Amino acid sequence: MSLIVQKFGGSSVANAERVFNVAKIVTDTYKKGNNVIVVVSAQGDTTDDLIEKAKEINPDASKREMDMLLSSGEQISIALLAMAIEKLGFPVVSLLGWQAGFATSSVYSSARIKKIDTNRMKKELDKKNIIIVAGFQGINKYDDVTTLGRGGSDTSAVAIAASMHADLCQIYTDVEGVYTADPRKIPSAKKLDEISYDEMLELATLGAQVLNNRSVEMAKKYNIELEVISSLTCKPGTIVKEKAKMENTLISGVAKDTDVARISITGVPDRPGLAFKMFSKLSAKDINVDVILQSIGRDGKKDISFTVARGKGKEAVSILENYLSTIEAEGVLYDDKIAKVSIVGAGMESHAGVASKMFEALYDSQINIHMIATSEIKVSVLIAEEDADKAVSAIYDKFFGNDK
Amino acid sequence: MSLIVQKFGGSSVANAERVFNVAKIVTDTYKKGNNVIVVVSAQGDTTDDLIEKAKEINPDASKREMDMLLSSGEQISIALLAMAIEKLGFPVVSLLGWQAGFATSSVYSSARIKKIDTNRMKKELDKKNIIIVAGFQGINKYDDVTTLGRGGSDTSAVAIAASMHADLCQIYTDVEGVYTADPRKIPSAKKLDEISYDEMLELATLGAQVLNNRSVEMAKKYNIELEVISSLTCKPGTIVKEKAKMENTLISGVAKDTDVARISITGVPDRPGLAFKMFSKLSAKDINVDVILQSIGRDGKKDISFTVARGKGKEAVSILENYLSTIEAEGVLYDDKIAKVSIVGAGMESHAGVASKMFEALYDSQINIHMIATSEIKVSVLIAEEDADKAVSAIYDKFFGNDK
């Protein structure tokens, strides 16, 4: 007998018909003799509707009360899914985050799971119950309800799989798995049978939002095998694991991220620690910095360029402008008409020339590269936003197309 | 410094505007130097909407999952009210039933409060927080969410007032207090300044649904002073307490209840215990019996008549028909075209002739009385349903009108 954890997102339980579709998947798994623990998100637009209600009353509501409010969404969906499973005639019990034993840090709205007390879940499995757990939520040391932040249900599922030593953790979505590129843009994009944690992590940070990043990190840490699978077709999806079977290609995907803006600080004196101080000002405001480029300018001064999420761009600029005189820099430049295009693949570790193949594709398409960043399994370039789709196509064709 | 418990029903928090109206009442009370604990129900039609959702999926859902579902309604309203109070600039914390310490019996959908662990609420009051508690809910010994049944928020409020030794428990509603008769029917009906627990209990059982009955019983048991007050006008309402100031009338109210059906068992042998057995069959199915009349029939046989809630009428009849041969009775008669009209008043204990004054009023209006039941402070009559409104008017005029 295996223990399988299954996670369903909000659109998978958006209405009664979809709820029964999920109930069918869950009970089919149970009928095969498996123990099943299911994690669900709030139905469809419930979370957005609740946020609207809150904004109408108090746009600056405390995060504690926001968590109290938003966690009700999952409470509704677990109860409804349990009712559907009862209707199909199977033993089932729904559990809120705290009932399932989720102890989190105290940071409201983006709490981290600290520990799962598995007693209750084990007891329910002993009773042969299917367990439905409210994703995205837990309680902190004050016995207050916390949420894990958007996408947190993926993390809930992986955390349960880790603490209960599950054999498999299935993440059901609306797509059939992880693709080599966005299939809506590149019709020839193909589904991967397997992908490694590291590749998946790089893809996730690059805007291919199939899986929440923290959930992949956790799966890697506890070596939990994940399957990304469609709740509509239930065809075998993509397995995410440590040693993914090498595909017959050098890279596993091309991704585009347009939620990015570039900031350049010009004329920074060449003294140790100035860059560190600058970035710590930003991180104090929860602004994450990506792709950093430092160039030697005139008179021993430097230009420092980096990217931030586009929504944080204006805030970052105003923080830096206040700080300019302290670091004796000359100016701040801002550009949000850019995009980041990346290729990811464990294959490039052992194959030289992957990066230059990418640059060649861009050169062939007359696309100008602003900045380049590389890691062991990733190459990212910053280009003009208007060139982004053309760039993805060109790179894709170069690696996967007929002219490769 | 006083501790005041305030309870607001679903219509009082139905939308953002009403939520702020409640926030204003609460913070005005707090500003006067009081500690305030607030109990709220789910917003407007939330509970009915959730029941609809459940029915669409599984009309026979387990009560456990229904409680899980329905308790989310209060979770939403406490968070929104807390946000409104934050907006007004006051310290506030919302608490779910289990966080406020509500331990209940295990019966889902109609659990009874067994104990309130007041530690958390005391801690929050020490921090000078206004506390918003989700009414209607608690947890049982299995750590599962339970609800107290419809109207349970009144009981939550009184239970908090009792366990926290509050100085006053205010029940805010859409009416200005307890009236001598339904003011929509009898325009001259007047609001009572005070009423005793017993009178309030009799009025509540008679269909004047201002207060949930269990809450009044609990208030009486722990001697908690209640105030029924309008959340729209906030004018002084009706105080419910042990020794209510005698009004200048013999009775404190006239009430009509049309949710009633009469059942008669004819030709029951005159043997001890038969009636008891019959009624225990009904109570085993949660069917409560009211106004019982036993008459001596022919041949040493008896007729036993009684009333039940109209919704339970058919079920009661079919239970009794199955049982007829066992008790050797002759038949079951059923009539649901009846109404119960009652007068209530502590005054009648010490004044003879109150009942006959009521009968005189009915006689004057040519209304036929089917059955009569009396207690120390109540007289009820069963009459034809079509005569009910006329009867209430006639009785009201006799006691309160110009011709008294």
Question: According to the model, what pLDDT value does residue A176 have?
Answer: 86
- For residue B386 the two structure tokens come to 């079509």
**Do B93 and A145 make contact, defined as CB atoms within 8 angstroms?**
no
Q: How far is B81 from chain A (nearest CA, A)?
A: 9
**Do A58 and B16 make contact, defined as CB atoms within 8 angstroms?**
no
For B368-384, how does the pLDDT look when each residue is reduced to its tens digit (9 = 90+)?
888 888 777 888 889 99
**Residue A213 placed within a domain:** no
* Same-domain status, B18 and B64: yes
Find the range with the poorest average confidence among A300-304, B18-22, B80-84, B366-370: A300-304
What is the rounded average pLDDT of the residues A161-166?
96
What is the rounded average pLDDT of the residues A344-365?
80
> Which chain A residue lies closest to B88 (C-alpha atoms)?
A58
The answer to whether B367 touches B391, Cβ cutoff 8 Å, is yes
For A294-336, how does the pLDDT look when each residue is reduced to its tens digit (9 = 90+)?
777 667 788 888 889 898 899 999 988 888 887 788 889 999 9
Question: According to the model, what pLDDT value does residue A403 have?
Answer: 46
Q: What is the mean pLDDT of chain B?
A: 88
Find the range with the poorest average confidence among A385-394, B342-351, B359-368: B342-351
Q: State the pLDDT confidence band at A248, using cuts at 50, 70 and 90.
A: low
Q: Number of structural domains, chain A?
A: 3
3-class secondary structure for chain A? CCEEEEEECHHHHCCHHHHHHHHHHHHHHHHCCCEEEEEECCCCCHHHHHHHHHHHHCCCCCHHHHHHHHHHHHHHHHHHHHHHHHHCCCCEEEECCCCCCEEECCCCCCCCEEEECCHHHHHHHHCCCEEEEECCEEECCCCCEEECCCCHHHHHHHHHHHHCCCCEEEEEECCCCCECCCCCCCCCCCECCEEEHHHHHHHHHCCCCCCCHHHHHHHHHHCCCEEEEECCCCCCCEEEECCCCCCCCCCCEEEEECCCEEEEEEEEECCCCHHHHHHHHHHHCCCCCEEEEEEECHHHEEEEEEEECHHHHHHHHHHHHHHCCCCCCCEEEEECCEEEEEEECHHHHCCCCHHHHHHHHHHHCCCCCCEEEEECCEEEEEEEHHHHHHHHHHHHHHHHCCCC
For B242-254, how does the pLDDT look when each residue is reduced to its tens digit (9 = 90+)?
876 655 566 788 8
Chain A (32-91) residues lying within 8 Å, Cβ to Cβ, of chain B? 50, 53-54, 56-58, 60-62, 64-66, 68-69, 71-72, 75-76, 78-80, 82-84, 86-87
What is the rounded average pLDDT of the residues A138-163?
93
Question: According to the model, what pLDDT value does residue A370 have?
Answer: 85
Whole-model pTM: value is: 0.79
What is the rounded average pLDDT of the residues B118-122?
98
* Same-domain status, A302 and A392: no
Residues of chain B contacting A80 with CB distance shorter than 8 Å: 53-54, 57, 69
* Same-domain status, A302 and A388: no
What is the rounded average pLDDT of the residues A33-39?
98
Residue B203 has pLDDT above 80, yes or no: no
**Do B145 and A69 make contact, defined as CB atoms within 8 angstroms?**
no
**Residue B163 placed within a domain:** yes
**Residue B375 placed within a domain:** yes
* Same-domain status, A146 and A276: no
Where does residue A266 rank: exposed (0-12), middle (13-18), buried (19+ CB within 10 A)?
middle
Question: According to the model, what pLDDT value does residue A204 have?
Answer: 65
Q: State the pLDDT confidence band at A400, using cuts at 50, 70 and 90.
A: confident
d(CA A243, CA A257): 27
CB atoms within 10 A of CB B176: 18
**Residue B30 placed within a domain:** yes
**Residue B187 placed within a domain:** no
**Do B65 and A94 make contact, defined as CB atoms within 8 angstroms?**
yes
Find the range with the poorest average confidence among A163-172, B70-79, B301-310: B301-310
Structural domain including A292 reads 261-335
Task: Look up the CATH number of the domain holding residue A92.
Answer: 3.40.1160.10
Q: How far is A10 from chain B (nearest CA, A)?
A: 16
Find the range with the poorest average confidence among A143-147, A243-247, B251-255: A243-247
Question: According to the model, what pLDDT value does residue A300 have?
Answer: 74
Residue A41 has pLDDT above 70, yes or no: yes
**Do B79 and A94 make contact, defined as CB atoms within 8 angstroms?**
no
**Residue A396 placed within a domain:** yes
d(CA A104, CA B14): 33
Q: Which residue has the higher pLDDT, B78 or B197?
A: B78
| Displacement of CA A364 from its chain's centroid (Å) | 32
Residues of chain B contacting A86 with CB distance shorter than 8 Å: 58, 60-62, 65
3-class secondary structure for A148-202? CCCCHHHHHHHHHHHHCCCCEEEEEECCCCCECCCCCCCCCCCECCEEEHHHHHH
DSSP state of B394: H
Could you tell me if A14 lies within 8 Å of chain B, comparing CB atoms? no
Percent over 90 (pLDDT), chain A = 53
Residue A35 has pLDDT above 90, yes or no: yes
Question: According to the model, what pLDDT value does residue B205 have?
Answer: 58
**Residue A202 placed within a domain:** no
**Residue B94 placed within a domain:** yes
Of A150, A173, A196, the residue that ends a domain is A173
Question: According to the model, what pLDDT value does residue A350 have?
Answer: 65
Q: How far is CA A71 from CA A132, A139, B43, in A?
A: 15, 11, 17
* Same-domain status, B279 and B156: no
Q: How far is B307 from chain A (nearest CA, A)?
A: 36
Residue B208 has pLDDT above 60, yes or no: no
* Same-domain status, A266 and A395: no
Find the range with the poorest average confidence among A110-119, A228-237, B278-287: B278-287
What is the rounded average pLDDT of the residues B286-306?
78
* Same-domain status, A145 and A21: yes
> Which chain A residue lies closest to B82 (C-alpha atoms)?
A65
d(CA B181, CA B256): 9
Of B335, B355, B371, the residue that ends a domain is B335
Backbone angles phi and psi of A322, in degrees to 5 = -65, -25
**Do A76 and B65 make contact, defined as CB atoms within 8 angstroms?**
no
d(CA B229, CA A404): 80
What is the rounded average pLDDT of the residues A24-29?
97
* Same-domain status, A325 and A383: no
Residues of chain B contacting A99 with CB distance shorter than 8 Å: 143-144
Residues of chain A contacting B19 with CB distance shorter than 8 Å: 57
Question: According to the model, what pLDDT value does residue B105 have?
Answer: 94
Residue A392 has pLDDT above 60, yes or no: yes
* Closest residue to A86, CB basis, from B58, B75, B86: B58
Q: State the pLDDT confidence band at B386, using cuts at 50, 70 and 90.
A: very high
What is the rounded average pLDDT of the residues B7-15?
94
* Same-domain status, B16 and B157: yes
Q: How far is B68 from chain A (nearest CA, A)?
A: 6
Question: According to the model, what pLDDT value does residue B403 have?
Answer: 45
Of B148, B173, B198, the residue that ends a domain is B173
Question: According to the model, what pLDDT value does residue B404 have?
Answer: 44
* Same-domain status, A41 and A136: yes
**Do A60 and B87 make contact, defined as CB atoms within 8 angstroms?**
yes
Task: Look up the CATH number of the domain holding residue A392.
Answer: 3.30.2130.10
DSSP state of B371: E
Q: State the pLDDT confidence band at A244, using cuts at 50, 70 and 90.
A: low
Task: Look up the CATH number of the domain holding residue B279.
Answer: 3.30.70.260
Residues of chain B contacting A19 with CB distance shorter than 8 Å: 57
* Same-domain status, B99 and B146: yes
* Same-domain status, B133 and B13: yes
Question: According to the model, what pLDDT value does residue B225 have?
Answer: 94
